[in-house]
A and B are shown apart, each in its own frame.
Chain A
Amino acid sequence: MISVLNAGNWAEQYSTIGERAFLSITMTVVGIVIVVFVLTLLTVVVSLMSRLINGKPGGKETTAPKRQPEAAAEKAAVEPAGSSAEPGASASERASETDGALIAVITAAVSLALSDSSQPSAGFKIRRIRRV
């Protein structure tokens, strides 16, 4: 095609609409095929490169929302239960934290009540509360 198209005689060789359509479609097909081939090859090269470097397919998309629970599960598997505030193991902890806050409030209230009386503040300690 390159040798066919020269500025001197191309108009004579492709004088009709049909001939020009043939020329343009031929060049278009050649052009698109080469563009797609080169970029497909690059896709393959990038995927292979990613696989070699990371040990997994480059085209595979992983998500942060997925990774986080996976990481949490791995963490839960290697750490003793209750050693962290992971969502799955925190129901009882949250209850004990609430109780602790309640105990602190009751202690402060009792302490205040005692300080208002004539008696000297007695040493006391609220160890446990019971919900009714």
Chain B
Amino acid sequence: MNSIVDFFNAFSETINRLWQGSGFTNIQLSQIGMILIAFVLLYLAIVKKFEPLLLLPIAFGMILTNMPMAGIINMNFYDPDFITSLGYPENTIFAYREVLNEGGLLDYIYLGIKLGIYPPLIFLGIGALTDFGPLLANPRSLLLGAAAQIGIFVAFIGALLLGFTPWEAASIGIIGGADGPTAIFVTKTLAPHLLGAVAVAAYAYMALVPVIQPPIMRALTTKKERGVVMEQLRPVSSTEKIIFPIAVTILVALIIPDALTLVGMLMLGNLLRESKVCERLVKTAGNELLNIVTIFLGVSVGATATASSFLTSRTLLIIGLGVIAFGFGTAAGVLLGKLMYRLSGGKVNPLIGSAGVSAVPMAARVSQKVGSDENPSNFLLMHAMGPNVAGVIGSAVAAGILLALLR
């Protein structure tokens, strides 16, 4: 009889321990809130198809990191105060002993962000997929790519005045570059605690480019300007395409060394493509490697979005400043496009200026769409691809400048 009672006692104690150690008793309201936000992002990615390749892994990473007791990632291992309290030397970027001994799966994957590995690898893949031909055919596109970076600095001013530190303000401003990997690269260096909010805002706005840009484009242009049919671009020789990435790499490295990591990898990928002798590497960089890194990047960025870092009023400010950055970037590109329209005697359609905010190829498609709405026989896509890829270079250069000034 006693043995039966002992058995039931042991059984109930085991069940009780399991219950006490389960997520049901340890989950907090803020974590439930984060999981609900992740559901919204999953909905946007799966149903609305908003940047699903990144929003879906980010959202799932948010679910993983906000599950209680799982220990799949320990963000305090990357907290400077915690690292110092463990007796590590100053400026140690993560508690490597703890990560190696006690880290979860995402702790190891997150190192790819913490050490700045994933964004340049993404740029390698983007370079392998990018044709700089439209930009080479019309080099003035580069100026449109420069103008659209103004949004970064406008948001930077706004963030600083709203009480963010210069390092946080730079990370928020870079959302205006409409370039996810660049935003992650800058934020992980200058304000790692904002990584989740900045990444979510950057990718959400990139998905919302077709919603954000057209009203600004229409407001700043006349019907006549939108209807301009641009002349066909000249063909670009393979020699030009091969020399371009080498020249850009050397030039950028000499002027802004901090931009070299991103620009150099972008140009390496492009040189692989244009050389036409590395087909296997191009295929790997543009497909398998890019896809693998995208999964790791998305999941680990999502994993940084813990309730304590994400559910704050500052996140709302970041999201608000992000849309301001996008808006000003778009407006600056269109306004420079208008200037080019005047100077060229009406040969340049100002709508291509909005594509300078990067977000390849979505922003170029928006230029095409708004242009064809005005004149159905107008095909601006290839003309807009020039400023669009120039925007990638421009945002990487702007990132390099912010890093050089603030690191």
Contacts and interface: CB of A to CB of B under 8 A. Distances in A.
B175 interface: no
A2 B405 contact: yes
Interface in B351-407: 390, 393-394, 397-398, 401-402, 404-406
Given A31-B398, A39-B397, A41-B251, A58 B237 contact: no
Contacts of A50: 136, 139, 240
A40 B166 contact: no
A64 B233 CA distance: 8
Interface stretch (A20-28, A78-86, A91-99, A108-116): A20-28
Contact of B166 (A5, A35, A39, A58): A5
Contacts of A28: 153-154, 156-157
B401 A59 contact: no
B142 A39 contact: yes
A36 B136 CA distance: 17
Q: Which of B145, B156, B160 has the most CB of A within 10 A?
A: B160
A34 B401 contact: yes
Interface string B236-253: 010110011001100110
Interface in A22-70: 23-25, 27-28, 30-32, 34-43, 45-47, 49-50, 53-54, 58-66
B48 to A, nearest CB: 33
B255 to A, nearest CB: 6
Contacts of B217: none
A21 B161 contact: yes
B160 A64 contact: no
A42 B28 CA distance: 53
B6 interface: no
Chain A: interface size category: 35 or more
A1 B140 contact: no
What does DSSP make chain B's interface, helix, strand, loop or mixed? helix
A31 B160 CA distance: 15
B393 A59 contact: no
B212 interface: no
Contacts of A58: 136-137, 139
Contacts of B20: none
B146 A36 contact: yes
B234 A61 contact: yes
Nearest to A17: B161
Contacts of B406: 2, 5
B256 interface: yes
Interface of A: 1-2, 5, 7, 10-11, 17, 20-21, 23-25, 27-28, 30-32, 34-43, 45-47, 49-50, 53-54, 58-66
12 contacts: A2-B405, A21-B161, A23-B160, A23-B166, A24-B160, A35-B398, A38-B255, A42-B139, A42-B142, A42-B248, A53-B243, A65-B232
Given A31-B156, A36-B146, A62-B231, 9 more contacts: A5-B405, A11-B165, A36-B143, A42-B139, A46-B142, A53-B237, A54-B237, A58-B137, A61-B137
Interface of B: 135-140, 142-143, 145-147, 149-150, 152-154, 156-157, 160-161, 165-167, 169, 230-234, 237, 239-240, 243-244, 247-248, 251-252, 255-256, 347, 390, 393-394, 397-398, 401-402, 404-406
